[in-house]
Amino acid sequence: MNRTIFTNIPAPIDDLPNGWDSATPIGNGFLGAMIYGDPISDVIQINEETIWGGHYGLDRVNPKSKDSWLKARELIIEGRIKEAESLVASDMYPTRHDPAWYDTAGYYRFDHKHTSYSDYKRSLDLNDAVCTVSYTADGVAYKREYLSSNPDSVIAVNYTANGERNINLSFDMTRRGCDNTDEIVLCENGIYLIATEPDNGCRYCVMAGTDSDGCVIYNEKGFEVYDASYLTVYITARTTHRSEDIVAWCDEKLAVAMEKGYDSIKADHIADYRSYFDRVSLEIEGEDRSDVPTDQRIGSAVEDNALAALYFDFARYLLISSSRPGSLPANLQGIWNHHRYAPWGGKYTININAEMNYWPAEVMNLPELHMQLLEHLKVMLPNGRRVAKEMYGLNGFVAHHNTDMFGDCAPVDHWMPATIWPMGAAWILTHVKTHFDYTGDVEFLREYLPIMKEACLFFTEYLFEYKGDLVTGPSLSPENTYIHPSGEAGQLCVGPAMDSQILHDLFSDTLFAAKLLGEEDELTAKVGQMLPRLPKPQIGKHGNIMEWCEDYEETEIGHRHISHLYGLYPSDQFTYEDTPELMKAARATLERRLSHGGGHTGWSRAWIINMWARLRDGEKAGQNVEALLTRSTYPNMFDKHPPFQIDGNFGGAAGIAEMLLQSQNGNIVLLPALPKEWSKGSIDGFKARGNITVKMEWADGKVKYAKLTSLSGHGFNAGVDGNGTVVSCDGAGIRVKVPEGCNVICTGNSVEFFG
């Protein structure tokens, strides 16, 4: 299947970093690069995911907080919001703002001796994760390939040209836009630079070496290559976070790469990448526009079904390229960032963005890549315990709305609409049950139950009774502002809807896991008593789900966060079957947000797609996919917040999957929200909860064939109830909605539907 993103123009390099959003990303989970692909001046911007600036691991908790946070709670309850804000600002804000941030390894360039060129093409083949640039200069056809290999830990740039020895270029290791502490050193396998982060002493090495049949002459800044018929440049990078001897580490990787040679490195890279990518396929039939450059398809309002499928595949590519066993989770930019201080520090914003990065991981059949987010909880845990103790005087595990490479859990900054929000760890922990639901991995659940219990412990001590319910506070509804009846605008509150909904999941998931594993104890007994006392979603005067526990007006009705619909998606607390009134109110909430300009950031639009899918409104979901592709996508297909933020890529892909297949609440539904434009298509290898894979073909908007297979070996049974044929997979606790007009055949651990 053709899955190529391509353009007929190089990314502009006149005024770097302009053009970055047109450049092509490659990555191996740890080492990323943006390929500008200019024939004359070939610029590559490089990232190593552990190059972080700023201060690490600081104890930033405000020592006054322990004695003041309960007072802040009282002031909020009394409606003295401004006073509560001043107290929070003086006593709960962290002693230090935004301590650490994601940095870049800088821009590097290869200058070629051409003066002009023609027939230019730059493409990224998603089937094998290789970026190719081709052009003609002085009658010679040139070709370059760029890849970032996970098995060999190197970026390889391979230059070839037809005819005799036509490759001539110079490489300059001097970085643009980085500080001047770089030391450039020649070594046995090439040349490297060593840089030191100013505030924290982290050192990193970027090393480049060559394999060529031409004449390669190294100088103090890089090298010159003359009269080569081929040239491969290998580049790698390492920080002192990962290795003591960073030069030796890079040297060894380059030595192995040179010995192995480009063809084998490429073959191993493709095999490794395909072991993830080939698990799944999606096709949505429509007009064939595959000969139109992708940057021209993005942003044009033409109905382009294949572009939506390509967007889904690109998200799979991005997850495989930014999240690998042993790597950090994908941050706000995945691993691709050209800034010295990435937007929002390039950290993990855990009041939506980092979680959204992993929404599609399971349905895409990439469960082991979901683990990077979950593994990070272990880095956060010791900090979260300390923050619970020092900031609140309580036991257990708490994190606020940001974390970083070092697992920081204190409030991140001094921004009232976001910072004092104690739900970050709890939200990530809801992904534990999701991973278990998809994989059925009991040992995994056993490993994470103690962390879930620690988060529960915090909330059992922290929640308080307010108007008969158990609520959070001081908290806020991420990052929205309400108008208090007194006329004052504020953010601090008690018991915002999202907090109660997240806690509903954390508590229920913990009780489920403890019961399954025989790990019930005093704490789970307490959690069991508290769960029914959490506030239930309420319906407000606009027929909407109430965002706060009072029916406040809000200052920005089209706000990008739609936190009070967490219960609709990603959670499954609102359903047509059990809570139709909440589904109606969720729809009213979404319509109100959208009619006031909502969905203006890429990630917000992506969330909205998922919500419409849950509301089973294919037309609305489809319109929002189109809005994502036309308004919130850069020419290289990166999500546009703006600026670039990778969450929209992942959230958008999750939404596309959610339109085709849903499996929450123990029910598998095929084609739950199909827009009429997507009338024909197919999926294969998608995962549903219950450890079930799904293959399906549809035409005229209806299922023609589907096969569901339980990877846990459970059988499917067809029976009849008042509603007709019912298929269940009891071992997985799953029922399957029989698609309209389909015959059913159950065989062993599969069920097939014929339409």
SS3 24: strand
Q: Which residue, 401 or 587, has its beta carbon nearer to ligand FUC?
A: 401
Is residue 215 within 8 A of residue 244, CB to CB? The reply is no
Is residue 327 within 8 A of residue 29, CB to CB? The reply is yes
Q: How far is the CB of 601 from ligand FUC (least distance, A)?
A: 5
Q: Which residue, 149 or 349, has its beta carbon nearer to ligand FUC?
A: 349
**Token duo for residue 381:** 């845990």
Q: How far is the CB of 89 from ligand FUC (least distance, A)?
A: 18
- Percentages helix, strand, coil for the chain, rounded to the nearest 5? 35, 25, 40
Q: How far is the CB of 482 from ligand FUC (least distance, A)?
A: 16
Query: How far apart (Å, rounded) are the C-alpha atoms in residues 435 and 446?
Result: 13
Query: How far apart (Å, rounded) are the C-alpha atoms in residues 246 and 249?
Result: 5
Q: How far is the CB of 491 from ligand FUC (least distance, A)?
A: 12
Q: Please state whether beta strands 402-403 and 464-466 pair in parallel, antiparallel, or not at all (unpaired).
A: unpaired
Q: Which residue, 88 or 352, has its beta carbon nearer to ligand FUC?
A: 352
Is residue 334 within 8 A of residue 356, CB to CB? The reply is no
Q: If binding is defined by CB under 6 A, does position 594 make contact with ligand FUC?
A: no
Among 601, 633, 662, 749, binds ligand FUC (CB under 6 A): 601
Q: If binding is defined by CB under 6 A, does position 353 make contact with ligand FUC?
A: yes
Q: How far is the CB of 357 from ligand FUC (least distance, A)?
A: 12
Among 93, 344, 634, 638, binds ligand FUC (CB under 6 A): 344
Q: Which residue, 563 or 682, has its beta carbon nearer to ligand FUC?
A: 563
Q: If binding is defined by CB under 6 A, does position 349 make contact with ligand FUC?
A: yes
**Measured on CA atoms in the order 558, 564, 570, 572, is the torsion positive or negative?**
negative
Q: How far is the CB of 343 from ligand FUC (least distance, A)?
A: 7
Q: Which residue, 366 or 476, has its beta carbon nearer to ligand FUC?
A: 476
* Residue count (the chain): 755
Question: Could you give the count of Cα atoms lying within 13 Å of 709 in the half-sphere of its Cβ?
Answer: 8
Name which of 372, 380, 425, 385 is nearest 407 in CA terms. Answer: 380
Report the site for ligand FUC in 673-712 (rule: CB under 6 A). none
Q: Which residue, 64 or 631, has its beta carbon nearer to ligand FUC?
A: 631
**What does residue 649 show for φ and ψ, rounded to 5 degrees?**
-60, -45
**Residues 544-548: contacts with CB within 8 Å, 24+ apart?**
544/585, 544/588, 544/589, 544/592, 545/497, 545/582, 545/585, 545/586, 545/589, 546/497, 547/477, 547/480, 547/482, 547/496, 547/497, 547/498, 548/477, 548/482, 548/493, 548/495, 548/496, 548/497
Q: How far is the CB of 489 from ligand FUC (least distance, A)?
A: 17
Q: Which residue, 651 or 675, has its beta carbon nearer to ligand FUC?
A: 651
Report the site for ligand FUC in 423-442 (rule: CB under 6 A). none
Q: How far is the CB of 102 from ligand FUC (least distance, A)?
A: 12
Q: If binding is defined by CB under 6 A, does position 11 make contact with ligand FUC?
A: no
Q: If binding is defined by CB under 6 A, does position 479 make contact with ligand FUC?
A: yes
In which element (H, E) is residue 659 found? helix 647-660
Number of residues lying near ligand FUC (CB under 6 A) = 12
Q: Which residue, 218 or 415, has its beta carbon nearer to ligand FUC?
A: 415
Q: How far is the CB of 332 from ligand FUC (least distance, A)?
A: 6
Query: How far apart (Å, rounded) are the C-alpha atoms in residues 538 and 453?
Result: 28
Q: How far is the CB of 245 from ligand FUC (least distance, A)?
A: 35
Query: How far apart (Å, rounded) are the C-alpha atoms in residues 588 and 352?
Result: 22
Q: Which residue, 373 or 727, has its beta carbon nearer to ligand FUC?
A: 373
CB atoms within 10 A of CB 751: 25
Q: How far is the CB of 604 from ligand FUC (least distance, A)?
A: 7
Q: If binding is defined by CB under 6 A, does position 663 make contact with ligand FUC?
A: no
Among 560, 605, 620, 714, binds ligand FUC (CB under 6 A): 560
Strand ranges (DSSP E) for 18-112?
24-27, 31-35, 41-48, 52-54, 100-102, 106-112
Q: Which residue, 310 or 611, has its beta carbon nearer to ligand FUC?
A: 611
Q: Which residue, 479 or 677, has its beta carbon nearer to ligand FUC?
A: 479
Q: How far is the CB of 280 from ligand FUC (least distance, A)?
A: 27
Q: How far is the CB of 473 from ligand FUC (least distance, A)?
A: 20
Name which of 155, 326, 174, 175 is nearest 241 in CA terms. Answer: 326
Q: How far is the CB of 107 from ligand FUC (least distance, A)?
A: 24
Q: Which residue, 52 or 223, has its beta carbon nearer to ligand FUC?
A: 52
Q: Which residue, 97 or 378, has its beta carbon nearer to ligand FUC?
A: 97
Report the site for ligand FUC in 214-243 (rule: CB under 6 A). none
Q: If binding is defined by CB under 6 A, does position 640 make contact with ligand FUC?
A: no
SS3 133: strand
Q: How far is the CB of 504 from ligand FUC (least distance, A)?
A: 23
Q: Which residue, 383 or 601, has its beta carbon nearer to ligand FUC?
A: 601
- Per-residue DSSP letters for 238-278? EETTT-S-HHHHHHHHHHHHHHH-HHHHHHHHHHHHHHHHT
Q: How far is the CB of 5 from ligand FUC (least distance, A)?
A: 24
Among 157, 257, 332, 546, binds ligand FUC (CB under 6 A): 332
**Measured on CA atoms in the order 414, 415, 420, 424, is the torsion positive or negative?**
negative
Name which of 596, 592, 660 is nearest 625 in CA terms. Answer: 660
Q: Which residue, 439 or 477, has its beta carbon nearer to ligand FUC?
A: 477
Q: If binding is defined by CB under 6 A, does position 337 make contact with ligand FUC?
A: no
Cis peptide before 643 (omega within 30 of 0): yes
SS3 356: helix
DSSP conformation class of 393: S
C-alpha distances in Å from residue 372, one per residue of 48, 327, 434, 479, 608:
16, 7, 14, 26, 25
Report the site for ligand FUC in 395-424 (rule: CB under 6 A). 418
Q: How far is the CB of 351 from ligand FUC (least distance, A)?
A: 6
Q: How far is the CB of 645 from ligand FUC (least distance, A)?
A: 6
Q: Which residue, 357 or 645, has its beta carbon nearer to ligand FUC?
A: 645
Q: Which residue, 353 or 403, has its beta carbon nearer to ligand FUC?
A: 353
Q: Which residue, 37 or 53, has its beta carbon nearer to ligand FUC?
A: 53
- Kindly calculate the radius of gyration of the chain based on its CA atoms and give it in whole angstroms: 27
Query: How far apart (Å, rounded) are the C-alpha atoms in residues 298 and 302?
Result: 9
**What does residue 594 show for φ and ψ, rounded to 5 degrees?**
-70, -35
Query: How far apart (Å, rounded) are the C-alpha atoms in residues 454 and 468?
Result: 25
Rounded to a whole number of angstroms, the distance between the first and last alpha carbons of the chain is 25
- Could you list the residues that contact ligand FUC (CB under 6 A)? 332, 344, 349, 353, 418, 479, 560-561, 601, 603, 641, 645
